[in-house]
Amino acid sequence: MIEYQHNVHVYYRDVDQMGIVYYTRYFEYFEEARTELLRSIGISVTDIEKNGYFLPVISCSCKYKYPAKFDEELNIFTKITEEPRSTLKIEYIIRNSNDILCVNGETIHTFINKNGKIVKPPKIITEKLRG
**Catalytic residue from among 16, 47, 71, 99:** 16
Q: SS3 for 69?
A: strand
Catalytic site residue 47?
no
If we measure between CA atoms, which residue out of 58, 32, 35, 33 comes closest to residue 111?
58
Q: SS3 for 66?
A: coil
Calpha distance 44→8 (Å, rounded): 20
Dihedrals φ, ψ of 63, to 5°? -110, 120
Torsion, Cα 50 51 52 56, to 10 degrees, reads -80
In 19-100, beta strands by DSSP E: 57-64, 73-80, 87-96
Instruction: Supply the residues annotated as catalytic.
Output: 16
